[in-house]
Amino acid sequence: MIVVYGSINIDLIGHAPSLMRPGETVLGSTLEFAPGGKGANQALAAARAGAGVKMVGCIGEDEFAGRALALLREAEIDLSFVRRMDRHTGVAMIVVDDAGENMITVLPGANSRLSATALDQAGITAEDTLLLQLETPLEGVAAAAARARAAGAMVVLNLAPYRDFPRDLLKDVSVLVVNEGEMAGLLEKLDAPEMAPEKAVAWLSETLDLTVVATLGGKGAIACEAGDIVKVPALKITPVDTVGAGDTFVGYLAAGLAEGRALKSALELAATAAGLACLKPGAQPAIPERDLVDEKLAG
C-alpha cells in the first residue's frame, strides 16, 4: 500500500499567450477547474500506476472539496483519512502559456491544518510506502517520516515545492526526488558548490545516505543508489502542458519501487508516464493510465 501524506487542492488553470512579469497584465483566453495538490496528484498517479493507495490530507467545508476529491474517488483511493477543516480547500492558481510552461501560486487553506496525528490514525506498516511532499506544514511532514521509518516503511520524499526545511527531515527518508531547481537549493543548503547533475546526485546520495533521484526535464532523469548511477531518457514529445509531469513522475516512481522494480526500471516507468502527462492540459486529468505507459514502454 502507498500511503500519501500531503496536500489536496483545486486548480484554477488559466491559459495565456505568455507568462506575466512583475507588474504586467496579460490577457488570457480560457479558465478551467481541475482537482490538484501535490499530494493528491501523486496519489492519483500511484493509483493509475496500479498501486493500492491511501490518502491522508485535509479539505475544507466548501464547494471545492467535492471537486478536489472527484478523481481520487473515481480511482478508488482510500479517502477514509481525509479530514474536513474549517478553512477553504487548498487552491492553486496556475497560468499556462502557449509553450506549455507555467507559473503557480498556492493558497494552502485546509492543507495548513494537516498533522502527523492523521497518519497515526491511518496507520502504516513495514509493507507500506509513505509518499511525502513539502506542500503541508513541515513539522507534520518530518513527524510522518519519522513514524513511517520507525515502522519499517519505505519513505519517499519529493522536495517540492522547495522551501527551507529542517535537515533532520532527511534522516528518515529512503528515496529523495528533486528537480534541477530543488537540487540546486539543496546543495546550497548543504553549503556544497554547484555541480553537474551526475556528480550532484552521487554527492547527495553519499552525504545523506539515501537514494537520490533528479528529474531533468527534456533530458530525462538520473539517480544514484549505493554509489551506482542510473540514467533514463525523456520521451521525445512536444509538450502541451508540463504542470502535471513532476507529480506523475513521483507517483509512478513510488508505485514502481513499491511493486519491487529495480531503480532503473522504476525510473523508466516514471519518465515515460511523465512524458505522456505533458500531452494533455492540467495535472490530474493528464495523468496516464498504466496500460498506456506499458504500451509506450513496449513500443
List pLDDT tens digits, range 72-110: 999 999 999 999 999 999 998 989 888 878 888 889 999
Residues carrying an active site annotation = 247
**What is this structure's pTM?**
0.93
Domains and their CATH numbers in the chain:
2-16+31-294 (3.40.1190.20)
Buried b / exposed e across 71-90, counting CB within 10 Å, b at 16+? bbeebebbbebbeebebbbb
Where does the chain show beta strands of DSSP type E?
2-5, 9-15, 31-36, 53-60, 78-85, 90-96, 102-107, 129-132, 154-158, 175-179, 211-215, 221-225, 228-232
pLDDT at site 163: 93
Give 295's pLDDT tier (boundaries 50, 70, 90).
Answer: very high
**What is the three-class DSSP state of 102?**
strand
pLDDT at site 104: 85
Percent of the chain with pLDDT over 70: 100
pLDDT at site 114: 97
pLDDT at site 241: 82
List pLDDT tens digits, range 104-130: 888 999 999 999 999 999 999 999 999
pLDDT at site 212: 98
pLDDT at site 189: 96
> Torsions phi, psi of 215, nearest 5?
-90, 140
pLDDT at site 222: 98
Nearest to 103, CA basis, from 116, 94, 112, 114: 94
Res 227 pLDDT > 90 = yes
